[in-house]
Amino acid sequence: MTNDQKFSEIRNFRELAASFGSVAAAYDRGRPGYPQELFDELERAWGRSLEGARTLDVGAGTGIAARLLAARGADVVAVEPSAGMAAQLLAVSPQLPLVRGEGDDLPFHDDSADLITYAQAFHWTHPEKSLPEAVRVLRPGGALAAWWNVFDESVPWVRARDERLSAALSGRYHGYGHIDDLTAPFAAAGLRVHRAELSWQRRVPVEQVVDNLTSRSFFASLPPERREPLLADERAALLAEFPDGQVVEPYVLDLTVAVTPA
């Protein structure tokens, strides 16, 4: 890769990451939460309860995962780089402590956290930076947990939508097809790694699914004159598939828990 290609890749990465601030309200309305089975599995893999665990939820967005972690008894601090997302988090969850920061340079002392979580967020870091940072901040026996809700492409309407959007967006539409690559460095860093996949689904109105699409970086970064016709087409396709306006949206939740030596 040439220096110009590297610069272009970095610039595109930053532009996509920055796009979330403009769609923070749609993100909070549309993005799915996480089933309680996720946190059960996290506790089993880690070997301890979330109750009282000093937790940094990095890339917290609008606080979707942070709220659920707090409900399980974790002592959560939300960590979010985007001003727009942070403002939305404070608007909907003013009780959550919030620190502006990012995974590549955590603004926390050494050995100061029991658990660091990345909900739909680890792929926005550079693992060669974020992993050593997590290990530095975690206490002995602490854990790093990264997870993603991935659309279940074994379901025909989901697969058809993905193919349609990939064609319409010239390949810019994508899922999380490289999770193995993202989490491979965990074991190389000497961490005990556990991975699990959980299937689940939610039933929500069509407009909530449209908000979910709107909040995706590949839509959020488009100019309105390109984005709105595509969203209108997807709304029509959803209503054709679900005439009652209630969408059954299937997910495979991919979880990786990496525990530091005690």
Give the per-residue pLDDT at 221: 85
CA–CA dist 96, 103 (Å, integer): 18
Give the per-residue pLDDT at 103: 97
Give the per-residue pLDDT at 229: 94
Give the per-residue pLDDT at 217: 83
Q: Are strands 138-151 and 246-259 parallel, antiparallel or unpaired?
A: antiparallel
Of 250, 259, 256, 251, give the one whose Cα is nearest residue 179.
256
Q: What is the largest CA-CA distance in the chain?
A: 54
Residue 219 sits at φ, ψ, to 5 deg, of -90, -45
CB 9 within 8 A of CB 70: no
Alpha helices in the chain (DSSP H): 3-18, 24-30, 36-46, 64-71, 83-92, 127-137, 156-168, 179-188, 206-214, 217-220, 224-241
CA–CA dist 214, 208 (Å, integer): 10
Encode the chain (262 residues) as per-residue pLDDT tens digits.
443 333 333 334 444 545 566 789 999 999 999 999 999 999 999 999 999 999 999 999 999 999 999 999 999 999 999 999 999 999 999 999 999 999 999 999 999 999 999 999 999 999 999 999 999 999 999 999 999 999 999 999 999 999 999 888 876 665 666 888 899 999 999 999 999 999 999 999 999 999 999 998 888 888 899 999 999 999 999 999 999 999 999 999 999 999 999 8
CA–CA dist 55, 63 (Å, integer): 13
Give the per-residue pLDDT at 3: 39
Helix, strand, coil shares of the chain, percent, nearest 5, are 50, 25, 30
Contact partners, residue 75, CB within 8 Å, separation at least 6: 52, 53, 54, 55
Of 133, 87, 85, give the one whose Cα is nearest residue 112.
133
CA–CA dist 262, 134 (Å, integer): 15
CA–CA dist 183, 16 (Å, integer): 21
Residue type, 163: E
CB 247 within 8 A of CB 161: no
Tokens of 218: 């590949």
